[in-house]
Chains A and B, each alone.
Chain A
Amino acid sequence: MSKVSFTPIQPGDVASITAPNATMTATASATAAINAENVRQEGIDERNLTFPLVVSNTAHSGNYTDVLVTIKSWTKIPASGSWAPPTSGAVSPSSFSSGVPFTVTLGGTFSYAIIRYSLEVAIEGRASGAPSETHYVNDDVGFCIFRDGVQLGHTRRFVQNQLAKSASGFGTTEQSRTVQSVTIFQYVENVGGTFDLRYHINTHGSSGLKADTGGMPWVSGTNDAVNIRRLTASVMHYK
């Protein structure tokens, strides 16, 4: 609506008070639709609205750690209950079930969502035995987002152990360790579902994981070869 104006009363205008409405102009426009001229740009925020613009859900592992043991099969990230605390300064994980799942329902309040997983991966072992050892291939670990049990292949990302000391003749007790970070995401538009995070370990021909207990004394057993920590997971729903 246009701005409302009025004619100020002047001294000596006593007679005009007999028709007070005549002092007002454009009063009709005051009942018109409000437009940008009447609303300060930053004057309204989402708290005034019945629909939210953004809603988030998160999960995290704190600085707990978990050992991944399943090889050659896409497997859900273990639930929070199986993660182990550090020796000191433990930051407890939030509660999450295996796969750190998020269920997304779109079409009503929200039009799309973005799901993100980020974590740290340590590979503290090395492939051993032919043909891997003699051909400089070490364990690698992949991560992927699944929707309703179906692999979203374009989210697959892999890390692989370092190459050094995996060559023949280096000796099987020499350490081969890597720490890397992985961040993967998936946007969801129109079609929702339940999304979770899974991993896959490939030993490249070796029958099993070979934790390097000789070179890395903090690794307590064969199955400690691959572990993860500092997982953060989130889903952001957007209007």
Chain B
Amino acid sequence: MVAACGNGANEPTPGTGGGNNGGSGGMAPISIFQSKVEIAGELEALAKKYTEETGNPLEVWGSAGDAYITQLQARLTANEGPTIFSVQPGEEAERFKSYYHDLSNEAYVADLAEGIGLEIDGKIMGMPLAVEGFGLVYNTDLVDPANVKDLASFTETLKQLKADGVNGLSLSQEAYFLIGHLINTPFSLQEDPQDYLAKLAAGEVKTAETPEFQEFAKFLEVIRAETTNPLEVTYDRQMGDFATGRNAMVHQGNWSYTMLEDFGELNIGMMPFPLMGNDKLAVDIPSAWVINGKASEAEIKAANAFMEWLITSETGKNAIVNEFKFIPAVTSIEATDLDPLSQAVYDATQNGNTMPWALNYFPPGIIINDLSPLAQEFFLSSSMTGEQFLERLDQIWANAG
């Protein structure tokens, strides 16, 4: 176990997936079920290429956005689980841990960047394919980052853009894009986010009394007052309007670049969300791919072969960097020719200018079940103040604990 991870080997170990496997495969058919809708089409194309190159069958199950976990759980409980599936680090990964196959001895986890593999009980159980980051994605023609450094300048910028007929900032109605990512910032700015979360669940601290949250509430009020109602906007519309210049900023991550590709060259960048003068992008691993330990021996072998191929073959590497537009989590894949958003995240990572995703440690399901309805209520009723929002937030956390 110790030998496989962290032994500093930076060369990709030649494996069975490095090239052709004789063409006729002979491995058991396997399936992948993962939660990223942005790469659905590209993943299916990759599956076809894999089968062409190695002869091993690979099936991609359609991913379902907000309902992914429900479907995954139903299938796992019915013993019809996928061979490879994705889980979010933190509570979600803990919940499903009895289904994982130990990856510590696999060749391909050797190249993971320091400390980045999904570890449970000291063993590497999940393989992250990408690091991701989010922040304020902005149109460089419409917004100057120097004008968005704190609450005052942020408000000023929004008002100015509104006067010019442009929507300053667009959120969107999906749970994570409405409030899930936005609320990560105040949590991540705490000294010890996980400790704060534990205290919040126990009722020992209150967001209503924490300065980062108090300012966050003011940000919410400004966003509500100066921008279009996010509940009227879907992800498609949000990015479409951004690409056509109707939205000056969106609170999104580098994954959203795939929604902008069809629009050609755009002048965009990513800047930190200026809460309390924050200058860091939120970067972390969004999910890791795990292999279903309850699958048969043959299927596990086939799954490992696929993962090996994905990390080491030219087609696989090309898919990760150029088609999925991931910033690779393994050091053996070069991150060249990145799109502007991924470049911003990559630079921030290289400079150490990042903060983690506290949202990975939220109580399971809280974003979809509780934070989303609360945010809906906030954006629908202009009478709900920021303070009331924080009070409700405290109640939610106390109940979820």
A and B from one assembly?
Answer: no
User: What is the interface of chain B, defined by CB distance below 8 A to chain A?
Assistant: none
